[in-house]
Chain A
Amino acid sequence: MAELLFWPALIAYGEAAVAYVGVLRRPALATRLAIWGVRIGWLAQTALLIAEVLRADGFPWSSWAGALNLFVWFVVGAYLIWGCSPRYRLLGLAVMPAAAVLFAIAGFGGSAADDGSGLFVAIHVGLVVAGFAGFGLAAALAGLYLWQERRLKQRSAGLLRMGPPSLVTLDGLAARVTVFSLGSFTAGIALGFARGHELDLAVAGAVAAWLVFGSALLLRRELGWRGKRAAYLTLAGFALVALLGLPAGHLG
């Protein structure tokens, strides 16, 4: 059953990714197709996760493939909540192709565990992965900010044609997503320490990422580090997460 649900989700995410690429040629039609792809894919993936939970006796996503699957679900879910609209179609172009590829890797790279883990692992992994997903989305928003900021500075051709969200909107949204994600991430790693998780490279990387994102928010609040500086810090934090392979390394 779970395997059968993988394909509709993958096809829908793939369709959304291709449609977002098509936004550059036919914005209105491609955006409509992409948004429906995201919605259908996310519902199918939700059904897939439910089927995996029902099959396992406990929390089934403590393997790297399972964690990656959950990560994609959180990323797309967050995108659906905060950005899945025609105004944010360029964010979709940044998020959905990556989400489709990661989902495929998770699906072909392994499966959810049949035996499952206990409640503690479920909460710990759920919170950490939700945090990672939010950081990913914030990084996509920061990337879009830097791209648009550069175009405005350079007075690029076609400045008004693509209609991305304004700089202030992108900056504010990235900060809000980071606040939510850092909360979830902090609770997740605190739980890990509370249960005596050993200090290894993955944990050190997680703490370093926490410090970067935490500093970004603090500097924003205290010294008014917005815009470009905040975007660079967000990207640096996410690069740390991605380079150390934290979602898989920490959980696998």
Chain B
Amino acid sequence: MRVTLVGVSHHGAEVELRERVAMRLEEAGSVASALAADCGEAVCLSTCNRTELYVAHEDDVDAQAAARSVLLEREPELASALYRLHDEAAALHLFRVAAGLDSLVPGEGEILGQVRAAFEAGATGAVLDRLFRQALYAGRKARTQTAIGESPSSVSAAAAALAQQVFGDLRGRRILLVGAGKVSEQAARNLLTRGAEIAVVANRTVDRASELAERFGSAALPLERIEDELVRADVVVSSTSASDFVLTRAQVERALRVRRGRPLFLIDLAVPRDVDPAINELDGCYLYDIDDLEAVVAESLGARRREAASAETIVAAEAEQFRSWQASLDVVPAIASLRARAEEIRRGELEKAEARLGALSDDERKAVESVTAQIVNKLLHLPTVRMKLAAAAADGVVYADAVRHLFGLEDER
């Protein structure tokens, strides 16, 4: 059974091409089922960065042609961007994908869930089942044994990670959202996933603030009353389109007098800036603007790339294991035939001896059965092990043919 991969990804195709072959999960499942009906086993992995068809089939030429036609029917211009990989190379590619090593941001975590979903929606048999389970294992292993997924990969994740450097656990921390735009909302959502609560949304137009506040179950305030909340907030996320500072040093100084030494973390995502940079000089105030956060992201992406080298070693070892397993499949039919032939001979000889064994008690008969089965098993154990080893070393087919010839198993192919 060969594994064939045909696909297109962000490495070779612009988004305009990729989006024409992108599929929702249900559609990917249907495509996999249709391909499996022709080929044997199939899984379709479709994300915003790639659409890949994995097929397991006895005839890899047919499988490749079927998979290619599925993608080209949707977008004929895709032909030059398609890549094709087989067996070990296909496995290594999938393991790298699952580990996030083929992603735009190395180590991003979402892809592992997407691989799992594609696997569950696919039409798998013994080969693709093993391949995808091992891919999920390799992806998890790369993340737990290296720091590839630890550092933040976006501005909002960096802001949340920095807030944790100040407060530790963010559960119950109050966030003051200044500005009701998409940017501050996205940053706030990242803080929310870590347990913080959006306490207040302040905006120049209160209607916009109320709209967003309703979604978060928080209160809305006009910008003029921002100082009231400044006394209670732990984190301030600001992103308005104001041309002047929305938050001045004097305002924060007044708030600090009643905060009793509690730290205040301020995230300024606006350009031009909303928060007076002099606030960072105040005791207990930590201010990060968009440039500071982007510098943190750039540095952590560098760290992820360094960790990627260790992750590559892990996925390569997993791909090698898959290769050994797949190679062992070449000798499995020969081993099965050999064992069936031996069992057939054993049974035949016992039947011939039936007349002489007739006088034996049930216990004695069981003992004879057991002894003959043990002799067969012991005789076949070493050849079985050696054939599997030879398969792992790529000589499996030669050994399997020799066994078939020596034991007269040709008809049982």
Contacts and interface: CB of A to CB of B under 8 A. Distances in A.
A88 to B, nearest CB: 12
Interface string B287-320: 0100010011001100100000000000000000
Contacts of B107: none
B303 A161 contact: yes
Interface residues of A, number: 24
A169 B165 contact: no
Contact of B283 (A148, A165, A228): A228
Contact of B165 (A159, A220, A223, A230): A159
Interface in A229-243: 229-230
Interface of A: 148, 152-153, 155, 157-161, 164-169, 220, 223-230
A169 B168 contact: yes
A153 B286 contact: yes
B166 to A, nearest CB: 5
A80 to B, nearest CB: 21
Given A160-B296, A225-B261, A227-B261, 19 more contacts: A148-B165, A152-B166, A152-B286, A153-B280, A158-B299, A159-B162, A160-B151, A160-B152, A160-B162, A160-B165, A164-B165, A166-B166, A167-B167, A168-B168, A168-B263, A224-B259, A224-B260, A227-B283, A227-B284
B321 interface: no
B164 interface: yes
B288 A167 contact: no
A226 B261 contact: yes
A230 B261 CA distance: 10
Contact of A167 (B161, B166, B259): B166
Interface of B: 151-152, 158, 161-162, 164-168, 259-263, 280, 283-284, 286, 288, 292, 295-296, 299-300, 303
Nearest to B166: A167
B166 A168 contact: yes
Contact of B284 (A155, A158, A159, A228): A228
Given A167-B165, A227-B261, A155 B299 contact: no
Contacts of A157: 299
A160 B152 CA distance: 9
A155 B165 contact: no
B296 A159 contact: yes
B-side interface mostly: helix
B107 to A, nearest CB: 14
The 8 A-B residue pairs with the shortest CB-CB distance in the complex, in nearest-first order = A224-B260, A166-B168, A226-B261, A224-B261, A169-B168, A155-B292, A168-B167, A167-B166
A161 B162 CA distance: 11
Contacts of B262: 224, 226
A159 B263 CA distance: 18
Contact of A227 (B161, B263, B295, B303): B263
A66 B355 CA distance: 93
Contacts of A220: 261
Contacts of B296: 155, 159-160
A4 B288 CA distance: 55
B162 A167 contact: no
A232 to B, nearest CB: 11
A152 to B, nearest CB: 5
Interface centre among B263, B292, B299, B300 (most CB of A within 10 A): B263
Contacts of B284: 226-228
B172 to A, nearest CB: 12
A103 to B, nearest CB: 32
Contacts of A227: 261, 263, 283-284
Contacts of B167: 166-168
22 contacts: A152-B162, A152-B166, A153-B286, A155-B295, A155-B296, A158-B299, A159-B162, A159-B296, A160-B152, A160-B158, A165-B168, A166-B164, A166-B167, A166-B168, A167-B263, A168-B166, A168-B263, A224-B261, A224-B262, A226-B261, A227-B261, A229-B261
A167 B260 CA distance: 15
Contacts of A224: 259-262
B190 to A, nearest CB: 14
Contacts of A167: 165-167, 263
Contacts of A168: 166-168, 263
A158 to B, nearest CB: 7
Contacts of B260: 223-224, 226
Contacts of B151: 160-161
Contacts of A153: 280, 286
Interface centre among A157, A166, A223, A230 (most CB of B within 10 A): A166
A224 B286 CA distance: 18
Nearest to A152: B286
B150 to A, nearest CB: 8
